[in-house]
Amino acid sequence: MLCYNLQYKEGDSIAWIDVAFNIDHEFYLVRDLKQDTSYNFRLAARNRIGWSEKGIPSKLIKTRPPGCPKVQITRAMRHLQELTETGQEIVLEEDKPHIDYSIEENPIGWLVEPQLSTKYSFISELSRGQFSAVVKGVDKSSDRVIIAKILELNAETEKQVNQEYEVLHSLRHERIAMLEAAYKASNSPVAVFIIEKLQGADILTYFSSRHEYTENCVANAITQILDGLQYLHWRGYCHLNIQPDNVVMSSVRSVQVKLVDMGSAHRVNKLGTMVPKYLGHPEYRSPELYNDELVYPQTDIWMVGVLIYVLLSGVSPFRGKDVDETRQNISFVRYRFEYLYKELSQEATRFLMLVFKRAPRLVII
């Protein structure tokens, strides 16, 4: 994994201007350049050894004259641009701390902190659910950026909050976002999970931001997801909400993913277990979730299959004109291969055929 420093200068100037030292994706939008003006650009790269020398400057590039439309970037590219513009230092893969696997034997306990605002500053909201919000913040003692999941606590939600805590508090795997601390004060209306901060966007945003990607890139990401699920299943749990929002890039420079959000996770054994109906995203649910039947570890694999289909086609395989038609398409396993990209290997289409089975016990991968 590398990160980059970008510099530019006007064609007749000798002074180079630094744009950013933490670029770790494949583009950067340079702002506030003069119109109808020529510029040179150059890069330096950093790996675990250190910074390289500055590269050979580009040829003169002339900006457009007044009246020309501005460069348009996608929403996914804008997200990556904003990540870089925060100025946060990029942690190279080699420098990341090793996982403390002792947590499996000595799980994280609930902490009591009457005033979390004395320990953390919460900066901005990243996402919101029905009873929770995910926010970005700063640990005041170290100035470290953190991610907090704030969950509403009441008679209706307390059981679910405790269940998510029970899943998270002893999990330690390189493909699952780790719980760092959990807070629940007496008489408090909220519980707070401090979650490992990841570098990138969700997997669908990441792939849609690339100019192109290959089947091998998707296979690499899916292998990592299956690695995380294998560990989760070994611990006796199913995720039950595999969808793009819950597969997040731990790096935006290379394909490195982690599973997040254990709010739907349940203990499930190989003989089948009943779980609450309608867990997960409607288009990713398996037939047994829709039909209130026993679920198995293979239920997660169905959801992975839907994600694979989306990444290899740009189309949701079972989406109908309404929720009822979507449910019927899933229940009868109605999907079409012609939407998949034409360049796909036979192995990819065969994998999907093996995954999309009406009876979970027949899924063999």
pLDDT tens digits, the chain, 365 residues: what are they?
A: 578 999 999 988 999 999 999 887 778 999 999 999 999 999 999 887 889 999 999 999 999 999 888 888 876 577 778 878 888 777 665 455 578 889 999 999 999 877 888 889 888 888 888 889 999 888 888 878 889 999 999 988 999 999 999 999 999 999 999 999 999 987 889 999 999 988 768 999 989 888 789 999 999 999 999 999 999 999 999 999 999 999 999 876 678 999 999 999 999 998 999 998 889 999 999 999 999 999 999 999 999 999 999 999 999 999 999 999 999 999 999 999 999 999 999 999 999 999 998 887 666 55
User: Both 170 and 313 in a single domain?
Assistant: no
Q: Are residues 345 and 256 in the same domain?
A: yes
Same domain, 248 and 323: yes
pLDDT at 91: 65
114 phi, psi to nearest 5 deg: -55, -35
The predicted pLDDT at position 267 comes to 96
For residues 273 and 21, the answer to whether their CB atoms sit within 8 Å is no
Structure tokens at 12: 């007749």
H/E element, 42: strand 38-46
Angle at 216 between CA 205 and CA 176, to 5 degrees: 55
Phi, psi of 35 (to 5 degrees): -75, 150
Domain termination site, one of 176, 195, 214: 195
CATH of the domain at 15: 2.60.40.10
338 in the same domain as 232: yes
**Confidence at residue 128, expressed as pLDDT on a 0 to 100 scale:** 87
Amino acid occupying residue 344: L
83 and 105: one domain?
Answer: no
The pLDDT value given to residue 60: 95
Report the interhelical angle of 298-311 vs 215-234 (nearest 10°). 160
Distance CA(302)–CA(306), nearest Å, equals: 7
Lookup: tokens for 325: 């038609």
337 and 233, same structural domain?
Answer: yes
Q: Do 112 and 184 form a contact (C-beta atoms < 8 A)?
A: yes
Whether 236 and 331 share a structural domain: yes
| CA–CA distance, 136 with 133 (Å, rounded to integer) | 10
pLDDT of residue 49: 80
356 and 212 share one domain: yes
| The domain boundary residue, chosen from 146, 178, 195 | 195
273 and 344 both lie in a single domain = yes
SS3 15: coil
CA dist list (Å): 20 to 197, 213, 237, 254 = 21, 26, 42, 19
pTM to 2 decimals?
0.75
What CATH number has the domain bearing residue 289? 1.10.510.10
Specify whether 224 is located in the same domain as 304: yes
Expressed in percent and rounded to 5, the helix, strand and coil fractions of the chain are 30, 25, 50
Decide if 175 contacts 258 (C-beta within 8 A).
yes
In this prediction, residue 48 carries a pLDDT of 75
Looking at 51, 66, 92, which one is the last position of a domain? Answer: 92
Q: Supply the range of the domain harboring residue 114.
A: 101-195
Locate 354 and state its tokens. 């093996």
Strand partners, 231: none
Please tell me the distance from the alpha carbon of residue 188 to that of residue 24, in angstroms, as a whole number. 40
Q: Do 321 and 219 fall into the same domain?
A: yes
The number of domains in the chain is 3
CATH of the domain at 160: 3.30.200.20
Q: What is the pLDDT of residue 314?
A: 93
Residue with tokens 């493909």: 175
Could you tell me if 186 and 306 lie in one domain?
Answer: no
Instruction: Considering only the C-alpha atoms of the chain, give the largest distance between any 2 of them, rounded to a whole number of Å.
Output: 74
